[in-house]
Structure 1
Amino acid sequence: MTRSAVSGFTEVATGEIAEIHTRFRHFRHDRTGAEAVFLLNADAVQTFSIAFRTYPTDSTGIAHVLEHCVLSGSRAYPIGRPFEELLKGSLQSYLNASTNPDFTIFPVASPHPQDFSNLVDVYLDAVFFPLLTEESFRREGWHQTADGSYQGVVLSELRGVYAASEYISAEQARRSLFRAGPYSHAHGGDPAQITDLTHAAMKHFHRRYYQPSNTLAAFSGVADIAGELRRLDRVFSQFERRPPPPLLTGSVISSRKIVTFGHSGGGPSCLALNWAFPRAKGRLAELAYDVLCEVVVGQPFAPLRRALIDGGYCTDIAEGRFLDDTAPPRLSVRLTGVDPERISDVERVTRETIEQVMRKGYGAQALAGAVNAVEFRCRDRGTWKRPHAVGLLQDLTKAWRLGRDPRLGLGFARELAEIRRQPAECFEAMMKTHLLDNPHFALVVLTPDGMPSKRARKVPSPPRPSNAARRKPQASTGIPHLTLQDLSPEPVALPLAREQVSGVPVLFHHRPTNGLTYVDLAFDLQGIAQLSCVALFGRIWLQSGTTCRSAQDMALRIGTETGGLSCQVVCPTMGKGQGAAAHLLLRARALTQQAPCLFDILGELLSEVEIPEPPQLAKLVASEIIRLRAQILPKAHEFLDRRLRAQINGAEQTDGLNYLQFLHDFQRVLRRDPDQARQRLEDLQRAIWCRKRLVISIIHDQSGSTDLLRRAERLIVSLSEGDRAKSADTLPVSKRSEAFIVPGEANFVGMAFDTRNQPACTASFAVALRWLETGWLRQRIRDENGAYGVLCRGDAMSGISTFLSYRDPHILPTLDVFSAAGQQLAHGISKEDLTRAIIATIGALERPRSPPDCGLQTLTDWLAGWTTEHRNGFRAAVLATEPDDLEDAGNVLSSAATSAHIVILGGKEALAQVLAQRPHLVTLNDLPGN
């Protein structure tokens, strides 16, 4: 070990992680033992996280409620809601926290150095010196209302997620493998037990776990190491070294176990097969587990996946991969759409399939595809929820929380090369040991029989906190904010080069991609009759064979030579008063050296794919129905947004409730006239795949543009010229306010304001919506009324603004708040609040994105005609927004509120109460297929 140049820390390790182009430096705090890790790379965004090992001993959600409460005021920032203040005036590209089964992590990120410094200061003070008032506990955790009901933000969140059978299945799949320890409890909290949590217990939990001796601070990007270590030392040195909590692992069940229970709300049965593996001895063993799970069940044509789906035991596999969220790690195979009559056969078929694989082998191509899938997850740790750098810090923390060298969670190249050299017998032995002969196995079955009744008990209402209960502030109460002068005078430039090949635009985005190349093919759908059928066609097309390859062979080739393909319909808005400009988007990625193979595969799929026969089509449509229905509760606010915007784009037809209705209708067509149904898909294929509808977008590093352009040209000339796109079809518009019954106690409320015919400035509207979302609406809907979240959505061109609440205990009070938003704006806001809203709007407009997300944004902007000049002009208009502009926006919203469109997803009893009070507010409907 070498002494660091910075007082207070000793450097304990350093090195390179070449496969992610990162230098690693690891420090330990001399006084407390706290650890600090720096991942030094070229990422323009600075990212920070601070994490603590946290071990719940029950299912009250103690770690989860604490995570919320520490962000509700601290010693240096004793205001009630510093987290909201950060949202109001920051350029943050990520600002969140998450509670995991055995650790809690608080990540923040920003492309602006001063903004990043502000965020880190507030988060450090929040986690180590929180006020933890009774008021914040009642708001974020739970409290009893005057009518005897229970409310709270976390309680609302968990009521919402527990209404989804898929969440319950995943939760019980984990807990079923452990008879004791942190993993045997609901770390997020069980709604039936959250009200057992006390304020005193939460404060004790904080003292036990939120201490530097139990801390990992981590940075990614370009960092001033000396400065950051001095900052950490100023905080850590206020504590003495304490024995950190002992590392806990789960006490695994010792023999086979079956868990059967019911869930409310109807829907298909679910089943989960679960195995606990031995603790991985190093990174090689951990990645070998991951590859094993991909070989057996993870890949699209993995033997167990196909045996269960093709054999009719389930409609789809919701999850089938290695999971390292517990110690020891595990494999969970969760089946949806299970045939209740065949549940007892699933375990037998699973064993027989694995035994057959061991006898016959799995093939070099299957292993190559499995290793490839694992490598892509390691190279690109971003998800739709989080950027790549946050994924890096999450994986770093996973290794640290087990007492391992943190960098062991990041490397992969040497280990995967070793796995590729392993003989087949190695994985066959692992199948026998870890699957067939593994006694640590649990079978979890959920059937729609209704949940067990909840405990009925009267809990005295906690006393309201007095002012004396609050700590006295020891520093300034002001949250640090940027000023307009801190912003760059020039907008962020998106590197884009345009080429034209045989009339087809080819867009090149040059940026670091960590060795990957991303290719997007966008086909114009103007003149295509039904977007719902296009969305189904896209998903079926990806699972089809070609004239020279079976569907299985094509899937194996895709898995071996690419990082996967996906297909979706995008509907960029053309402008106020204009319809949808829908495009079918085929997205693909590959290692840069495999880009030629990727283009070959795309060419084969576009020219030679064959639509499956009706029996297979029926299975694919049933699987699509199950997939979509499973998303309704977890993403209910997205379904609301699509429904509310249905009058200006086609997204509701391609991934919303209209699409779900279409799928059920298509099922009936398949039964009545299967040839007609298949013919419709074949007609679409001929109409869409042509040059005149195509735009290509390629995201890659600076090298290889000439070769990529040549590959793109070969693909283009292989397509027929096709017909020119015709004018867009008129989309069906639902102007009725409506409500749909969903299971559970949480509601999801949406209201759309149509301002397309109002003389409103779109830039000032964006600022107004940002102020409402991060300020007044958040306070009224979340903090006062207990909803888990609230969103305002509007874009620069559509003229439609949507207000959405999710996991909300209320309906009518929320609608009343939405309706009053314009009046609140019209009252005027302070100059300081306006400045913060402008900065936050610029932050959202110029938020750094991952390579595929950046490529998608640039592509959709190009398709919609949203040029660099438009973007720069919009930015300038945002910066020039004045208080009077927001007052005008408020008057426009108030005018639009009189004819606002309402959509609600709510519980049956809650909707009945709404209609009893306002009988003509909405039309009540069942979800399609119910």
Structure 2
Amino acid sequence: MRLEDLSAYEILEKRRIEDLNSDSYIVRHKKTGARLALLSNDDDNKVFYIGFRTPPKDSTGVAHIIEHTVLCGSKDFPLKDPFVELVKGSLNTFLNAMTYPDKTVYPVASCNDTDFQNLMHVYLDAVFYPNIYKTDKIFKQEGWHYEMEDESSDLTINGVVYNEMKGAFSTADDVLSREIQNSLYPDITYGIESGGDPDVIPELTYEDYLDFHRKYYHPSNSYIYLYGDMDMAEKLDYMDKEYLSKFDHLEVDSEIKSQEKFSEPKEIHKAYPVLPADSLEKNTYLSYNCSVGSTLEKKIYIALGTLNYALCSAPGAPVKKALIDKGIGQDVYSEYDNGIKQPIFSIVAKNADASQKDEFVKTIREVLEDQVKNGIDRKSLLAGLSYDEFKYREADFGRFPKGLLYGLQVLDSWLYDDMLPWIHIEANDTFAELKKEVDTGYFENIITEYLLDNTHRTVLLLEPEQGLTEKKDEELRKKLKAYRDSLSKEEIEKIVKETKELREYQEEPDDPENLRKIPLLKLEDLKKEAEKFVYEERNENGVKILFHDIFTNGIAYLTFVFDIKNIDASELPYMATLKKLLGMLDTEHYSYRDLYNEINIKTGGISGSISTYTDSADVTKFETTFEISVKVLHENLSDAFRLVKEIITSSNFDDVKRIKEIFDEQYARLQSDLASAGHQTAALRAMSYVSPAASVSDSVSGIGYFRQLEHMISIIGTDEGAAAIVDNLKRLCKSIFRPENLLVDITGTEKEFQGVPKESELFAKALFTDSYDKGQFKMTPVKKNEAFVTAGQVQYVCRAGNYANKGLKYTGALRVLKVMMGYDYLWRNIRVLGGAYGCMSSYAKNGDAAFVTYRDPNLKNSIDVFEKASDYLRNFDADDRVILQYIIGAISDLDTPKTPSGKGSYGLTAYLCRAKMENIQKNRDQLLGTTKETIRGLADYVDAFMEDNCVCVIGTADKIEESKELFGAVEQLVQS
């Protein structure tokens, strides 16, 4: 069957897109007007999504709550959480749903044809025939509800989206992004919080919520995308017969309106919460924000990204440097949001003072005017273009299927013009055009039109307010108390009854017959063989080279791996600092600005990392490395070696002023990152109490490093402190970057390998050979059990330990346990019953293990759930189908398709861990052979790591105070 033979559809455009090696189709469903965009190619990682334009009219979060709830049961799959059942038992490479300011998207991806069809079926059924009309309990669970355990209880509010957004409204960076968009577009959908404002969410009624679904979740308002190696005609025929043809055409007014241009710029002040003890000085965000045209202008779409790099984002960029030199902000950056109809360009100074506002604006405008008058640095423009073009051509999005990222980018134009889905993902010609514009004044004209003469702009000040969280919490308590006091006895009894009924609904198991309606693969559908590592050790002219013979489309992925076993462990925070400084300082032949441009013109980027590798034969041993990674086109291979050599052998560590600027920027970013990714922060810190390897990671990227960075910032202002920091950095370079420590890792074909031996030999000869004092790399974990207070409204709770210390050996069945705990026991008790947004567990091969919650309204309750986990496992009972689901989910996670660079990293990890293929296969066999009895036996692993009783919580002062007996220390996450 050909697409042209499908009478239900009209092909509006068909053509070849060579940039993506794809045949493209723009298609319309005749009866309903449903829009379809298809990219047919040989990629077996197939992608489907259905999306809808969903402009909200208020900040009740209705679009977001519907996104959650349509996945809670439907006509063909009438169980409470088919989404979770899919995650458990699907080979998906992506499965999720996303709410944006003007659209909601439901994407899936899989390499397995049967699985892909199953995923399409479940998602189409979910969006068009959800169970939300049959019971309001789905709305209450995922959205919001009043809660009272009995007539004497306080009245509270709970709900997954409600708690998720309390977390989202707790971090200053999230608040800033939201307020910038609101400031520029106050009269249209972008001036509304589509995710939901926690203060407003409880205003959403069940009927208004249903009306929103009735209006927007219709084929006539849909955007359907297919990508990959599949029979497109078969998929479209299926969609028509099973879903689209069941509907008539509907006129849906979902047009995304445009904001009328401001006649003059506006100044807006907003507050964000800090703790009562936090300083108000140097804690304001200053932002200069411009509405910059239309996302349908394909040259501007990329050009503004290039200006983002050249003007402010790159180290030493003129706007950034001018503001930093004047002491306006610790971290200065720009952001370009082109995922909405009217894109936004913002320049932000973080950790500034409100009193600097006028100087902030004046400085930006003076620098921009100078750039227009004297011309933007040509190399900066070319570097920005080269960097973006390299990323575009490489199309390496890690674990995310490239077809998914293409599909989401398609909506940047398709949502606003039915015939323009491809303009931003078909970009080779656009890059070529823009390179020609570098010397024409084109980029300077953009600055004039959009950043200087544009009256549609705002200056937004996001200012700290001490105790704002506590104030809002108290206001909510009073409001709920007043409401409770206004209720009659019968109304109170009704809330208590509904609370009980919701709990019973949540705890009631699904009908086994309904569970069996979720499509499931067979055990024989699963690949039995473990993925082989690809590597060959070669010794070339005295340099050890690890070669991964993998097709990379002409790109060489290089990693310079340095063993740091002779470095003293106390130096780890300085190593982490060194990693951040390399490439950001002047060198022998380059200023740091020119160096950064040269890197991005000649390569796809240079980055540093500090990694640990556990010995597979003895998990008490591990190796720590300092790594510098480069991706480069083969013809520029010598440039990659030259630039890395330049950076590690001639960086100017005597420039204390520049080092302090980088410290300040790091501090400002970590200040936000540690809190916003609180689950990862808490888990790493908790495991560091018992695990030497986790202690290393915490010392170079977690709270341990943040505390040391605070100390370094406090002493760098003194001559003695600055001298000590500089001496440490110089000494570390001479201790780490030595020929005897070096392994060169290269991923590519034999063609990309050509030149590597000679370049590696020259590189090794340039490294340090001076004598040095060898240290002792020994980490001694110390159990602390800490709580870190933030100004947020939610908790991140972790309980961690190590099972290997109790004599237990890793088994592949632990991967099954991870799926089972994350989508069964923890999911039901932490998310469904507890209202937290997320929950997870981990079980590493070295024995490190943890239970973690994310955006959790609870603390002690979650710890109690963790405590009962092993009892649940010992009494675990399920049929073979349920066990198979968990096995499939675990295999799906294990077999996520790897990019070429990912395959190289897999081989490097195997090499450094001394892994043997027979053991990898054994672990896979254990996974595939998991039984009910196996899972019961894993209770011993949970007991073993729980016995260590390592607890770390990042959360609110009141919840931490209620459970203070759990902690040996309580302190603010960010010290004033």
Tell me the TM-score normalised to structure 2 length.
Answer: 0.90
Return the match for 1:240 from 244, 248, 251: 248
CA distance in 2: counterparts of 1:88 and 1:289, whole angstroms: 42
- Which residue does the alignment assign to 2:941? 892
Does the 8 A contact of 2:687 with 2:801 survive in 1?
no
Report the more deviating stretch, 886-895 or 142-151.
886-895
CA distance in 2: counterparts of 1:65 and 1:285, whole angstroms: 34
1:151 and 1:385, CA in 2 relative to 1: closer, same or farther beyond 3 A?
Answer: farther
CA distance in 2: counterparts of 1:36 and 1:703, whole angstroms: 41
- Which residue does the alignment assign to 1:648? 692
Q: How far did residue 880 of structure 1 move?
A: 2.1
Does the 8 A contact of 2:295 with 2:339 survive in 1?
no
1:446 and 1:482, CA in 2 relative to 1: closer, same or farther beyond 3 A?
Answer: same
- Which residue does the alignment assign to 1:262? 271
The alignment status of 1:521 with 2:560, answered yes or no, reads yes
- Which residue does the alignment assign to 1:274? 289
- Which residue does the alignment assign to 1:183? 190
Does the 8 A contact of 2:94 with 2:108 survive in 1?
yes
1:513 and 1:173, CA in 2 relative to 1: closer, same or farther beyond 3 A?
Answer: farther
Does the 8 A contact of 2:739 with 2:768 survive in 1?
yes
CA distance in 1: counterparts of 2:973 and 2:254, whole angstroms: 49
Does the 8 A contact of 1:379 with 1:514 survive in 2?
no
CA distance in 1: counterparts of 2:595 and 2:869, whole angstroms: 53
2:131 alignment partner, SS class: coil
2:738 partner letter: C
Query: 1:732-774: per-residue Cα shift (whole Å, max 9, x none)?
Result: 3121322111112100100113211233552223322321112
2:840 alignment partner, SS class: strand
Does the 8 A contact of 2:556 with 2:752 survive in 1?
no
1:870 and 1:180, CA in 2 relative to 1: closer, same or farther beyond 3 A?
Answer: same
1:895 and 1:707, CA in 2 relative to 1: closer, same or farther beyond 3 A?
Answer: closer
Report the more deviating stretch, 635-644 or 383-392.
383-392
Does the 8 A contact of 2:79 with 2:511 survive in 1?
no
The alignment status of 1:786 with 2:835, answered yes or no, reads yes
Q: How far did residue 491 of structure 1 move?
A: 2.5
Does the 8 A contact of 1:299 with 1:559 survive in 2?
no
- Which residue does the alignment assign to 1:355? 369
- Which residue does the alignment assign to 1:394? 408
Report the more deviating stretch, 34-43 or 554-563.
34-43
CA distance in 1: counterparts of 2:184 and 2:553, whole angstroms: 37
Q: How far did residue 280 of structure 1 move?
A: 4.7
Does the 8 A contact of 1:101 with 1:187 survive in 2?
yes
CA distance in 2: counterparts of 1:594 and 1:784, whole angstroms: 56
2:918 alignment partner, SS class: helix
What fraction of aligned residue pairs are identical, expressed as a percent? 25
CA distance in 2: counterparts of 1:120 and 1:388, whole angstroms: 18
Query: 1:309-352: per-residue Cα shift (whole Å, max 9, x none)?
Result: 233111113x5132112221120222212144423310000000
1:608 partner letter: S
1:13 and 1:472, CA in 2 relative to 1: closer, same or farther beyond 3 A?
Answer: farther
The alignment status of 1:679 with 2:727, answered yes or no, reads yes
Does the 8 A contact of 1:78 with 1:473 survive in 2?
no
1:847 alignment partner, SS class: coil
Query: 1:587-631: per-residue Cα shift (whole Å, max 9, x none)?
Result: 222344433322321232233222242222222212211111110
Query: 1:363-389: per-residue Cα shift (whole Å, max 9, x none)?
Result: 321210121233234335555784433
Report the more deviating stretch, 172-181 or 325-334.
325-334
Q: How far did residue 437 of structure 1 move?
A: 0.6
1:634 and 1:555, CA in 2 relative to 1: closer, same or farther beyond 3 A?
Answer: same
- Which residue does the alignment assign to 2:620? 578
- What is the count of residue pairs matched by the alignment? 924
1:181 and 1:862, CA in 2 relative to 1: closer, same or farther beyond 3 A?
Answer: same
Q: How far did residue 49 of structure 1 move?
A: 1.5
Matches within 5 A, 1:25-174: 25-132=25-132, 133-146=135-148, 147-174=154-181
Q: How far did residue 784 of structure 1 move?
A: 0.7
1:325 alignment partner, SS class: coil
2:357 partner letter: I
1:179 alignment partner, SS class: coil
- Which residue does the alignment assign to 2:651? 609
1:249 and 1:612, CA in 2 relative to 1: closer, same or farther beyond 3 A?
Answer: farther
The alignment status of 1:337 with 2:385, answered yes or no, reads no
Does the 8 A contact of 1:72 with 1:83 survive in 2?
yes
Does the 8 A contact of 1:827 with 1:887 survive in 2?
yes
CA distance in 2: counterparts of 1:872 and 1:819, whole angstroms: 33
Q: How far did residue 722 of structure 1 move?
A: 7.9
- Which residue does the alignment assign to 1:314? 329
- Which residue does the alignment assign to 2:24? 24
Does the 8 A contact of 2:295 with 2:301 survive in 1?
yes
Query: 1:612-668: per-residue Cα shift (whole Å, max 9, x none)?
Result: 422222222122111111102211111112112222311101110000111122223
Matches within 5 A, 1:195-234: 195-234=202-241
Q: How far did residue 298 of structure 1 move?
A: 3.0
- Which residue does the alignment assign to 1:625? 667
1:524 partner letter: D
CA distance in 1: counterparts of 2:768 and 2:299, whole angstroms: 48
2:601 alignment partner, SS class: helix
2:270 alignment partner, SS class: strand
CA distance in 1: counterparts of 2:84 and 2:386, whole angstroms: 41
Q: How far did residue 409 of structure 1 move?
A: 2.4
Report the more deviating stretch, 274-283 or 542-551.
274-283
- Which residue does the alignment assign to 2:746? 698
Matches within 5 A, 1:847-858: 847-858=896-907
- Which residue does the alignment assign to 2:707? 661
1:198 and 1:503, CA in 2 relative to 1: closer, same or farther beyond 3 A?
Answer: farther
Q: How far did residue 99 of structure 1 move?
A: 0.6
1:482 and 1:3, CA in 2 relative to 1: closer, same or farther beyond 3 A?
Answer: closer
Return the match for 2:585 from 534, 544, 561: 544
Matches within 5 A, 1:901-920: 901-915=950-964, 919-920=965-966
Does the 8 A contact of 1:93 with 1:848 survive in 2?
yes
Does the 8 A contact of 2:810 with 2:846 survive in 1?
no
Does the 8 A contact of 1:58 with 1:185 survive in 2?
yes
User: Which consecutive residues of structure 1, in runs of 5 or more, have no partner in the other structure?
Assistant: none
Report the more deviating stretch, 714-723 or 772-781.
714-723
1:474 and 1:602, CA in 2 relative to 1: closer, same or farther beyond 3 A?
Answer: same
Q: How far did residue 701 of structure 1 move?
A: 6.0
1:696 partner letter: V
RMSD: 2.8
1:410 and 1:615, CA in 2 relative to 1: closer, same or farther beyond 3 A?
Answer: same
1:260 partner letter: H
- Which residue does the alignment assign to 1:436? 452
Query: 1:147-166: per-residue Cα shift (whole Å, max 9, x none)?
Result: 31111111111111211111
Matches within 5 A, 1:765-784: 765-784=814-833
1:581 partner letter: E
1:572 and 1:40, CA in 2 relative to 1: closer, same or farther beyond 3 A?
Answer: farther
Return the match for 1:836 from 863, 885, 907: 885
Does the 8 A contact of 1:320 with 1:332 survive in 2?
yes
Does the 8 A contact of 1:693 with 1:724 survive in 2?
no
- Which residue does the alignment assign to 1:478? 517
- Which residue does the alignment assign to 1:872? 921
2:255 alignment partner, SS class: coil
1:252 and 1:859, CA in 2 relative to 1: closer, same or farther beyond 3 A?
Answer: farther
2:717 alignment partner, SS class: helix
1:428 and 1:153, CA in 2 relative to 1: closer, same or farther beyond 3 A?
Answer: same
1:371 and 1:920, CA in 2 relative to 1: closer, same or farther beyond 3 A?
Answer: closer
Query: 1:417-471: per-residue Cα shift (whole Å, max 9, x none)?
Result: 1111123422222211111110011111112124485464346777848999x99
Does the 8 A contact of 2:295 with 2:340 survive in 1?
no
2:140 partner letter: R
1:774 partner letter: Y
Query: 1:108-160: per-residue Cα shift (whole Å, max 9, x none)?
Result: 11222222221121111111111113111111111111131111111111111
1:89 and 1:374, CA in 2 relative to 1: closer, same or farther beyond 3 A?
Answer: same
2:794 partner letter: A
1:534 alignment partner, SS class: helix
Matches within 5 A, 1:287-326: 287-317=302-332, 319-326=333-340
